[in-house]
Amino acid sequence: MAHAQAAIMDRPPERGLDVYTQKVGMWVFLCSEVMFFAGLIGSYIVLRFGASDTWAAPGEVLNVPVTAVNTFILICSSVTMVKAFAAAEADDQKGIKRYLLLTTLLGAMFLGVQAFEYTELVLHGEWQGSHGFTPAAGLYGATFFTMTGFHGFHVFLGVVCLAWATIQAYRGRWGKDHHHGIEVLGLYWHFVDLVWIILFTIVYLI
């Protein structure tokens, strides 16, 4: 009988977290993204320790200064993203437009620099005698292009969404009570930024 009472005992209604669904969804999705990059980075570490002699010294092949600038650009874009969200919360339409546009452009700029870096490497890169540094250039080339390439792909997706959000901004979609989209997009953007900082460290600097 004690059992019975325990089982039937009434409880106050519960309605999940106090966070709106899209945000939860994005957090969940990002967990999966973490595992994806963890897979790539993990393999990178294993392969590099397995054959460290086939790795170039930092700066030997890759142009660290240029990429450092690029990293800075991406970090700036994170800042502007934050400002865009703040503007939305403050219902500052001009701010929303300005900062979303800025973030989009910075993201695009990052991609531009990366594209330039790739072409330079493929055409003029020098690595272990092979003329031109390609994904086929040993484990070093393979891991470099795969990891930075997939990050670039994520940035690209982000830029597409940002462009969409910017257009919406000019249509006046965002505002005081309509900033979920921007916040969720922001989460993704900051994640991509974070991943880049890790990649920049282990691929370029170490």
Q: What is the contact surface with other proteins in residues (CB under 8 A)?
A: 1, 3-4, 6-17, 19-22, 24-26, 28-29, 31-33, 35-40, 42-43, 46-47, 50-51, 54, 122-124, 130-132, 134-136, 138-139, 141-143, 145-146, 150, 157-158, 160-161, 164-165, 181, 184-185, 188
- Kindly state the smallest distance separating residue 146's Cβ from other proteins, in Å: 6
The tokens of 87 are what? 């503007």
The tokens of 49 are what? 């320790």
- 33 and 191 in contact (C-beta within 8 Å)? yes
- Kindly state the smallest distance separating residue 71's Cβ from other proteins, in Å: 22
Strand, coil or helix: 130: strand
Cβ nearer to other proteins, comparing 52 with 206: 52
Distances (CA, A) of 56 to 65, 79, 144, 169, 181: 16, 33, 11, 45, 42
- Kindly state the smallest distance separating residue 68's Cβ from other proteins, in Å: 26
Cβ nearer to other proteins, comparing 51 with 69: 51
- Kindly state the smallest distance separating residue 72's Cβ from other proteins, in Å: 24
- 111 and 155 in contact (C-beta within 8 Å)? yes
- Kindly state the smallest distance separating residue 158's Cβ from other proteins, in Å: 7
- Kindly state the smallest distance separating residue 56's Cβ from other proteins, in Å: 14
Question: Strands, E, within the chain: which ranges?
Answer: 126-127, 130-131
Contacts of 109 (CB under 8 A, 6+ apart): 73
CA–CA gap between residue 34 and residue 24 (Å, rounded): 15
Cβ nearer to other proteins, comparing 51 with 68: 51
Cβ nearer to other proteins, comparing 54 with 63: 54
The tokens of 4 are what? 């019975």
Cβ nearer to other proteins, comparing 29 with 204: 29
Cβ nearer to other proteins, comparing 13 with 65: 13
Contacts of 106 (CB under 8 A, 6+ apart): 73, 74, 76, 77, 80
